[in-house]
A and B are shown apart, each in its own frame.
Chain A
């Protein structure tokens, strides 16, 4: 497919994203039903019509957002089919495979009804609805992994390797961590080339790994996790932090020292917050800032080379952010949270 065609379609789709003013208007809606009425006048009307047949209120909005995300990723994959850019889109779409697998594993672990697990799945990656349905039919974690191995799904390998450890400790985090490691290793191997666009995508993945590690470190310091146990939980391949630096960060031992250390890295915005707010800053505030940094960084790709696939990746991040913002608005409306608190949770791109 001609890059001009892809670029024009993506720009057309980007122009339909909701701007800050439209989101602010949605925040000011008095209740869920007026939020639905307002969303019916946006590009979500088709998905809302479908979703509201089976569900109402918050459930309907969440289902519509899920359907819209699936439709968007499918649409982009369709016009990039057979192109070089397709494998870069795979990096973004496979994160939904990881999300789906983690959801199924968690559901099976705590015996959640199949219907409830299904409602949280997003079949926007390599797993289609039929594969997900078969996985949902399995009675427990082991059967899910066995089925993945039988169908030679790549994710079966890390899960099978981590399974003995999981059985010994009974901690689902072991399986989730194995999946994350596999995802990021695979993603980095897909962009191992020397081209400019691969370099940019590699940088975003590296940044994402760093931010996940910083979030994990913040929680580990809060919960006083032993550095020996903590190291295997951190991901390798970050842009700034390699294994050696991660080991050093673990030995810092406290949130204050970690934030101080970050002053000399691109993540110095955390120390700026600490110097203005003091030691009372909550971990969730740091996490929100880290998420915001990643989103802003990734969406910037949209404004890069117009004939490169990075435009598509930038758009996908912007779309994902919009859906997250709409989900925050819908949930906060449902919980009667005031608009100013809602604003604080949102990320504008």
Chain B
């Protein structure tokens, strides 16, 4: 089974993670901008919080890679 289903499956896994990360980062980014505007000293924390949703897209990438490598 190495037809079109494998790349489509991998693409869905990656795209799902990427879209979810985008949504989460936009919300955190907006709130983070507000926080930094009022309390510039919290910029470090905001950057860390902004990066946390990246784990979702990395997870999506790993799953996509596993699909391509492992499914034969």
Which chain A residues border B31 with CB–CB below 8 Å?
Answer: 2, 4-5, 7-8
Interface size on A, residues (CB 8 A): 12
Within 8 A of A (CB), among B20-39: 27-28, 30-35, 37-39
Chain B residues, Cβ within 8 Å of A4: 27-28, 30-31, 34
Write out the residue numbers on chain A whose beta carbons fall within 8 Å of the beta carbon of B32. Answer: 8
**Chain A nearest Cβ from B57, distance in angstroms:** 21
- Closest residue of B by beta carbon distance from A6: B34
Residues of A within 8 Å of B30, CB to CB, are 2, 4-5, 8
List residues of chain A with CB under 8 Å of any chain B CB. 2, 4-9, 11-13, 15-16
Separation of A2 and B30 alpha carbons in the complex (Å) = 7
B27 near A9: Cβ-Cβ < 8 Å = no
Q: Is the Cβ of A12 less than 8 Å from the Cβ of B38?
A: yes
CA distance A8 to B28 in the complex (A): 10
Number of residues from B at the complex interface, CB < 8 A: 11
Chain A contacts for B35, CB-based, 8 A: 8-9, 11-12
Interface of A, secondary structure class, is helix
Chain B, residues 1-43, CB within 8 Å of chain A (1/0): the string is 0000000000000000000000000011011111101110000
Which residues of chain B have a CB within 8 Å of any CB of chain A?
27-28, 30-35, 37-39
Listed from nearest, the 8 A-B pairs whose CB atoms lie closest are A12-B38, A8-B34, A2-B30, A4-B31, A9-B34, A5-B34, A5-B30, A8-B31
Return the chain B residue nearest A14 by Cβ.
Answer: B38
* Sample of 10 further A-B pairs with CB below 8 A, known A9-B37, A11-B35, A13-B38: A2-B31, A4-B28, A6-B34, A8-B33, A8-B35, A9-B35, A9-B38, A12-B34, A12-B35, A12-B39
9 intermolecular pairs with C-beta atoms under 8 Å apart: A2-B27, A2-B30, A2-B31, A4-B28, A8-B33, A11-B35, A12-B37, A12-B38, A12-B39
Residue of A nearest to B39 (CB): A12
In the assembled complex, which residues on chain B have CB atoms less than 8 Å from the CB atom of A7? 31, 34
CB-CB under 8 A from A6, the residues of chain B are: 34
- The residue of chain A having its C-beta at the shortest distance from the C-beta of B34 within the complex is A8
Interface centre among A4, A11, A12 (most CB of B within 10 A): A4
**Which B residue's beta carbon lies closest to that of A8?**
B34
Contact A5 B33 (CB under 8 A): yes
**CA of A231 to CA of B29, assembled, Å:** 54
Q: Complex: how many Å from CA A232 to CA B56?
A: 64
CA distance A54 to B37 in the complex (A): 30
